[in-house]
Amino acid sequence: MAARFLSGNLLTLLNSGTEYFPALIKAIDEARHEVHLESYIFEDDATGRAVADALSRAAQRGVTVRVLVDGFGARDFADRLLPELLAAGVQALVYRPDIARFQLRRHRLRRLHRKLVAVDGEIAFVGGINVIDDLNTPHQVPPRYDYAVRIEGPLLTPIQQALHRLWEIVLWAKLNRRYRLLPTAQKEPEARGEQTAAFLVRDNIRHRRDIEEAYLAAIAAASEDIILANAYFLPGRRFRRALQDAVKRGVQVVILLQGRIEYRLLHYATQALYGKLLGAGIRIFEYRRSFLHAKVAVIDHHWATVGSSNIDPFSLLLAREANVVVKDRKFADELRRSLRQAMQNGARELPFDSWKRLPWHSRLLRWASYNLVRILVGIAGYGGKR
């Protein structure tokens, strides 16, 4: 489905939790009518507690507060934070709870990976930042590297619709009669700025490939350069071919990827692709200063995206995701400068022959990891040439 671009928005790029959480808590504390939050992870740590406290304060002063978290990503939420939120009057649900960790059934792998917030129909947040402290990662000193966008303007309408629609779906699935999404006449948000953007979701019904197709269309139209930053990067053949074709047209393609090992299987599977990508003329940087969790891109100084969707089978084929796509030079250039700074200060570029210099057993390990991921995706029922 083609992206619906809306003008008149005011977008603020937020770099990591140090900028995101103060803005989020301020918006919640100033809420008058409604706060609606979705998150893959909602951790019981200093940051999670601060957000939970803000949500409780809002509910106690009469604001309708709804929280939806994923049953796998936030698997401790029901025992640790949920009772206090419910006691404060917050409405909270868990998406697909009680998941067995190694179960490969298709429906079990369909996770809620979105990170969305809407406040009073006036402010929204979209991005890749979970409700978790930036320092809540073993062996990490600098903060986790990620992005979100604060949004005011007409783009609030599709964001709110997506939040309400999924809430109703989960209510129906649980036959929950306690919570009801009361029909309210919502006025159209007024223009707040001059930026044009679209809100895209990925689900398993009408919007299966909306985010991927938006990427592919922008890559196909690129004439100058492409910068991608992804925490988990395991693209299918169409995506890899699109990047390679861009290089052949004279476009400079740069990819910023995870340098530290968080999930070994995905880490090594991604590295199995390095040889072909580097051989095609694509530049690869590995971010090593901290854990990279960003899912963003900038193309030709005027197209940018920030969201929750990685370029891997789990985001593009299984999970519920949400991205903002922005057509605005000022926003794109700000994100570009931030990515360039990250590459300069926290990343290392891989030399062209880095793959060839690896011992044969290291290359074998990476290809075995790549093929194992493909097998797991196939078992889940999502094989095919992509």
- Tell me: the pLDDT tens digits for 356-379? 777 767 877 777 777 777 777 665
List CB contacts of 151: < 8 A, sequence separation 6 or more.
Answer: 9, 10, 11, 12, 123, 124, 125, 126, 159, 197, 324
| Percentage of the chain modeled with pLDDT above 90 | 68
300: left (phi over 0), alpha (psi -120 to 50) or beta: left
- Tell me: the pLDDT tens digits for 115-151? 999 999 999 999 999 999 987 665 556 688 999 999 9
297: pLDDT strictly greater than 60:
yes
Domain boundaries, the chain: 6-195, 203-379
Q: Average pLDDT, stretch 190-218?
A: 94
Per the model's pLDDT, the better-predicted residue between 92 and 184 turns out to be 92
Instruction: Select 203-379's CATH number: 3.30.360.10, 3.90.1640.10, 3.90.660.10, 3.30.870.10.
Output: 3.30.870.10
- Show which residues are catalytic: 113, 115, 120, 293, 295, 300
The pLDDT value given to residue 385? 47
- Calpha distance 235→276 (Å, rounded): 12
Question: Cα–Cα distances in Å, from 168 out to 33, 164, 215?
Answer: 19, 6, 29
Instruction: Evaluate whether 6-195 and 203-379 have a shared fold.
Output: yes
Give me the architecture of the 6-195 domain, per CATH.
2-Layer Sandwich (3.30)
Q: What is the helix (H) or strand (E) element at residue 197, kind and residue range?
A: strand 195-202
The pLDDT value given to residue 273? 87
The pLDDT value given to residue 50? 97
- Tell me: the pLDDT tens digits for 159-193? 999 999 999 999 988 776 677 665 555 678 889 99
The pLDDT value given to residue 179? 76
